[in-house]
Structure 1
């Protein structure tokens, strides 16, 4: 299913179409083409990074095949670009798809492209969304035409790395959360290969004899909307003909039922309640039977679509749990604050921006504020004016997550008085504290010990990995020696892994090292590799089989928290255990070898 995705996007944008878009945006044709050329490789990199995890690949595959993505967008561009409304709608759809996939706003990418190309930001914002719509559309078309499955998506995107790498730079990759461009290009390939390998060779699991389901979702024949109906007719066999006869009969019965329903509603409004109660049951009953068609031929694949509908109904039935609103602040040495916030609505965003502008003046602060209606109200905004002195204190760092307030940097010092001032300012139910690395390590150690005790004799890889990742190996700054505070936990980890080996359940694990974003990219990559090697060496010396562990360093990629605060950097400087793919270990080690000292 190999293809040059960048070329697919370019093929969708011939000169005449680019000229149309340029006219709508008020740009020279060369400027529009330049923005597309800079933006598209960065978007592909973002999608590639999404496929670095199993859950990410699943989510991206579902998004691409979703109704919001138009597989025919390339052919429809001339019509869409014929009006400002079409351009606006296409851009909005693309931005929503990208932000859903990247789990972050893409305004930062648009702004960076604007700075690097000299094209006004309003135009780069529009083009980034349009490029996203086209990229998703051509991917969907390609997958559908080749009847691709979820395991082929990471491979397909991984094949683009050589094409996009020359067009990536630190500015583009950093705003997408990918870390430095060189580190990303060096590490992402092995990660997506491991994910693809998992889908191709999933771990063996007991299969019930009464029902069978595919390990991962694949495309049903009926999902291929781009295929002409004639193709289906040429492949009709006896079973398919039987299915079409049943489908025709079902359609006739459905039409009669619809007519009777209309009459019932017209003559007896009370019937609405009765029909409404039974409609949901009918919706579920048909797909439930359809799930038994998993092992049947593609000609009967409409049942797969019905089974997918069941999952969608169940997912939509579960109400979303509102997350806390959040504010993260870091002030530079000159007193200029940089804020990242997620609030519930536009009114809260405006209130925060107005307060910042009133205090600092336009252009004298940096703010990235996301509106998410699924967030809880930002009650801390009531105290924003009182927080302004802190926001202008050089070296100050603060994180507000719901009703939890954490200080770090210069404001964490008791002598600064900020801890007591904020406790008095917020009052109950807010919890105000200063970040304490030693306490964080101790808390993690206790959590790890409790989990290890609860684990018992279980050697299920998912349970073991989850337990191991509760511990914290808090290396000293710029140092790769295993710290004293981690010895007990690592010894217990070794005992756990050895007991699994003794019982015949040897686990193959990756020991991955990650860093924060302080320091140079190359130094972070090297240091994270040395730290991962140090932990692996400790475990091997403690008795864990050497061939059961492989160590990799990834530098500052895949941060789990904001690097703006001390606690975030603490979380990002981590050792992370994961199940290694045995079939890719040798290849991955060979790729990582040049980094070892």
Structure 2
């Protein structure tokens, strides 16, 4: 059941999908193809290295068939890439899966892909996650369709070497921690063969008929009776089928007699439910095999019961798509307030019980939501290590799947909580401290990479596309100030350039400049400040030539938060200027 995974990726990444990715990240289709052409083979090499040990092959196979991997991703890619939320989820899930499979962060690889292809790092990072999710999903679909097993995985991986080797180089492999190209290509096949020779190869549930018969010694004088015996089995099979049909028909007749007092319509519905579509229309058609049906009633009943049980089996529930979340902030008295989303009542009880045991029933506030579309909360296994941090005055922590962000006193380097949590959670979690400067820098990089696509002569000026890109920029106002900061002026100048170009082409974008705040301070003051900031941004754009009648400004205060206000990172995200299409 060998395949070429590079060809599978290419078949999933159609021209339409490539154009979607290019537009999403502000790249040309050619640049997007270069990223895909480097990332796919490199990730395949990483999977080969993972499968080059017994334990690695088993864990890789288990991950491929896990609920987190979407076996229908090839068909769903166009829809997933059609929304910002879909792209974000696809990227995040893919990166998490890759880091669990490869036992390392994939940033080093995506940074190298960005360097070799010349695309912005943020685009390479995102597409690495998307390609990873696609690759694993395609493998899952292949194994499920072919009823494959773990014993076939090493051979399948080894078969990829001729397809991926021309696209690899020393630097890409170094990004995966695999050493040089020569060492990898020279050793990987022998390692995979060794695993294949020692790994379990599950046998089929039943032996093929030819194999079963070959072990039976048949007397010579019995051979002449082989053909008649085969025909008798055929007649027995036909008789059994007739018996089952007769039994079902008779049961339908009995049901009609019991229900003859019911209205004509109800009788018809009951009969349609009991009698199979293939049952004879009158009793005479089933009279001949009636005695066979009586003799075969137990077997027929078992068959009917089995069919009914199979029909009643519920459809498999869709795999969860959202990461579990936990955020908490601790007041000056050491009392934590938590917000969490978990996948079951059992997880909710585990969290509440641990908090009660640690703090007492009235010494914490917990708002816990159960959502069955949420993946299991892996961080619950490390809850004992988090509980002391929940008692640290001024601490702020956000856990989103396998990502942990510290702020407030939790981010104080002297207290050492960053290193403690890295040791506690291990390499499968990404743990860091929130930094406003870094957040602004990341947003600026994303915005400037994306807006290049709107500055080309052939840009469509579609308002929806313009809004998506403009909303990538961050205008980091000074606390309590409505003056446009110098750090945001260059981005606003580029925004104005796009809006002016569209206006000159007769495609003026009508936009609302909406201001939002976090929940710190009074609601009335926040509303006034958010409006002043929106008006300041509008005035700056009008000053640089954007048509005055194409922009309106409005403030909304702390309503419609896009993140939890429990952490510094969440409050930073909520203090925002948002561009919205006017009706």
TM-score by length of 1: 0.46
Higher Rg? 2
TM-score by length of 2: 0.47
